[in-house]
Amino acid sequence: MIEIILIITVLVLVIVLLVMQRKLPAHAAQVLEQQHRAMLNDLHDGLNKQGDRLIAVQAEHAERLRAAVAEEMRATRDALHVLRNEMLTQTLEKLAEQGREDQKLIQDSFRNATQHLAGSVEALEKKVDARLEQISGRVSERLDEGFKKTNETFVSVMARLATIDEAQKKIDGLTSNVVSLQELLGDKRSRGAFGEVQLEGLVRNILPPQAYAMQHTLPNGSRADCVLMLPEPTGMVAVDAKFPLENYHRMFDRSLHEADKAQAARQFKADIKKHVDDISSKYIIPNVTSDGAVMFVPAEAVFAEIHAHHPDVVDYAMQRRVWVVSPTTLMAVLNTARAVLKDVETRKQVHIIKDELGKLGKDFGRFDERMKKLAEHIRQANKDVDEVQISSRKITEQFARIERVDLDHPVELPDE
């Protein structure tokens, strides 16, 4: 505030001097100017000193204020520390009290839960005991039934074991019979007879008697095991049974060396080709038999060996117009032949069937005409019945009116 007053005073003086300088002469103005400059210098020095004093005073005031603030902050810090300690103590006391209450509540809950659990366990034990008693009774019943069924099963097993023993005896007998069959098939004549018997059984079971002939003698003097009498253009087909078994067994004999097995395989192929040549030369006769013949191999294994591992033999037989068949494939051939025979017989009976169908058509025409007449009679009879019912109803109404003595409105009867 003092500084402001001093500045205003100096400004007033400067203004006064300027005014006076304008009014005084030059010399006086110069003197006043010098005085004025001296005054300004003094004023400037005074202002500097006054500023220094003000700075010192402000620094002192700031130091005192800083000390007072520090002291106040220290006091506040101490108060806050005390307050924090008090609040922490109170909080710890409250937490301890709350913990004691929670512990008490947990103990009470645990005690109640223990009591409830004890009651539940006791009830569960009772239920379990009752259920165990019930299960024990059922188990006893099931065990009794199981023992009974086990005894029955044991008796049944004993009976089946006896049956198995008997079957084993039969198997042993069958084994001896198989050995006997192998010994029987070791002879060429026996094998030939076996093949002929099997061939005859297949043909007899599939074809009608007039469609084949067993042990048929051809015009060239050769006797075929079987001849199929098929319709033209196939005609007569000769079937001869061949059973090349010796070298076939030698091919799979483990006691022989590989060279011997290879020799047996070559001999097996040679036997097949020889049988094919014999059948082709004996049983294919131009203008008498078909242009092909059938070689029947009674063993499926031998037939499979020929077709699986010796395709050159199959090609050779086809070139010689000889078809190699097994029991399975022969059944297919015979079934085809039976279908052909049936088709031929059906064609022979076509005109008979046609005539019968014509007669049936005429009979059906007469039946249709008679049915129409019968329908007309039934319609007329139905119409007559309706008219009779109308007349009967009118007569009944007339009788009713007569009984009521109501003759004013007579009922008109229809004209007959």
CA 136 – CA 76 distance, rounded (Å): 84
CA 226 – CA 373 distance, rounded (Å): 63
pLDDT(173) > 80: no
340 within domain boundaries: yes
pLDDT(217) > 60: yes
158 within domain boundaries: no
167 within domain boundaries: no
What's the whole-number mean pLDDT along residues 277-305? 87
CA 28 – CA 21 distance, rounded (Å): 8
218 within domain boundaries: yes
CA 351 – CA 24 distance, rounded (Å): 176
297 within domain boundaries: yes
Confidence (pLDDT) at 175: 43
Confidence (pLDDT) at 250: 80
Confidence (pLDDT) at 12: 66
Counting the structural domains of the chain, the total is 1
Do residues 225 and 199 make contact, with C-beta atoms less than 8 angstroms apart? yes
304 within domain boundaries: yes
Predicted confidence band of residue 128 (pLDDT cuts 50, 70, 90) = low
Terminal-to-terminal C-alpha distance of the chain: 158
pLDDT(184) > 50: no
Task: Tell me the torsion sign for CA atoms 119, 123, 124, 126.
Answer: positive
Domain residues for 229?
212-348
389 within domain boundaries: no
pTM for the model:
0.42
The per-residue DSSP string of 102-143 comes to HHHHHHHHHHHHHHHHHHHHHHHHHHHHHHHHHHHHHHHHHH
pLDDT(3) > 70: no
What's the whole-number mean pLDDT along residues 297-311? 85
Predicted confidence band of residue 26 (pLDDT cuts 50, 70, 90) = low
Confidence (pLDDT) at 13: 66
Predicted confidence band of residue 235 (pLDDT cuts 50, 70, 90) = confident
Confidence (pLDDT) at 154: 54
Confidence (pLDDT) at 93: 85
pLDDT(158) > 50: yes
User: CB neighbours of 129 closer than 8 A, spacing ≥ 6?
Assistant: none
Predicted confidence band of residue 112 (pLDDT cuts 50, 70, 90) = confident
**Phi and psi torsions of 252, nearest 5°:** -115, 15
Greater model confidence, 136 or 48: 48
Confidence (pLDDT) at 186: 47
262 within domain boundaries: yes
Greater model confidence, 171 or 9: 9
Q: Give the tens place of pLDDT for each residue, 254-280.
A: 888 888 888 888 888 888 888 889 888
